[in-house]
Amino acid sequence: MTARVRAGVLVSGGGTNLQALIDACAAPGFPAEIAVVISNVAEAFALERARKAGIATAVIDHKAFPSRDEFEAALVARLREHRADLVCLAGFMRLLGGTFLRQFPSRVLNIHPALLPAFPGLHGPRQALDYGVKIAGCTVHLVDEGTDTGPVVAQAAVPVLADDDEAKLAARILAEEHRLYPLALRWVAEGRLTIEGRKARVEAPPVAEGLSLRNPGR
């Protein structure tokens, strides 16, 4: 039996995307497992989700370090301790720099509630509504030193409905995030992702695995 890829997950909040990853990794034959969940916030409910699943947890408070480099070095050390092969950000509210990213080249994934490169940064659904777009969605991308600027791995589209407010749109996008993130993790864990310049390419066409434009909420 092939050894499963070990993922470390960084969190700061409630951890619904973490839960989606936990559930996916519990399925027979899934090619990844969660080695450790690390939060910079001791009260993050995501840590409780991990504990209930029997996953190792750690709290590394960024405020305890005099510099970002030292904080990132502590994150890397804990991930190495748990033999993490790749990293998933699941609501981790800190930007990561070179000290961290050089240790996991093209092996750090993030999920963002917008169709990048549109609406990077905070409040993607609010930005979409303010701009008046008709299609919103979510993106899994590789993390670089910019703000949501790394190569796009996968996207899912969500229509913006006439009666949407930020909460309604965000909830429908979140449902797609929970479907998309485990799929992207599977691709990476199976070695099906290649990087060509700024583009991330997956071997199998996404539509072949059910990743097609859908109309949630209709």
- CATH label of the domain that carries residue 190: 3.40.50.170
| pLDDT given for residue 2 in this prediction | 75
Rounded CA gap, 218 and 214, in Å? 9
Count of domains forming the chain? 2
Give yes or no: residues 133 and 84 share one domain: no
User: How many Å separate Cα 102 from the centre of its chain?
Assistant: 18
Is 151 a residue whose pLDDT tops 70? yes
| pLDDT given for residue 1 in this prediction | 54
Catalogue the active-site residues.
112
Give yes or no: residues 155 and 217 share one domain: yes
Is 213 a residue whose pLDDT tops 50? no
Give yes or no: residues 42 and 89 share one domain: yes
In a domain, 99, yes or no: yes
In a domain, 16, yes or no: yes
Supply the mean pLDDT for the chain: 93
Q: Residue 3's closest CA among 128, 210, 189, 173?
A: 189
| pLDDT given for residue 104 in this prediction | 97
| pLDDT given for residue 217 in this prediction | 43
In a domain, 15, yes or no: yes
Give yes or no: residues 23 and 91 share one domain: yes
In a domain, 125, yes or no: yes
In a domain, 135, yes or no: yes
In a domain, 216, yes or no: yes
Give yes or no: residues 84 and 7 share one domain: yes
Residue 189 belongs to domain spanning: 117-140+149-218
Give the pLDDT confidence of 2-46 residue by residue, as tens digits. 789 999 999 999 999 999 999 999 999 999 999 999 999 999 999
Give yes or no: residues 136 and 76 share one domain: no
Give yes or no: residues 29 and 122 share one domain: no
Q: Residue 153's closest CA among 186, 118, 104, 105?
A: 186
| pLDDT given for residue 215 in this prediction | 43
Is 216 a residue whose pLDDT tops 60? no
Give yes or no: residues 101 and 4 share one domain: yes
In a domain, 112, yes or no: no
Give yes or no: residues 201 and 124 share one domain: yes
In a domain, 71, yes or no: yes
Give yes or no: residues 92 and 172 share one domain: no
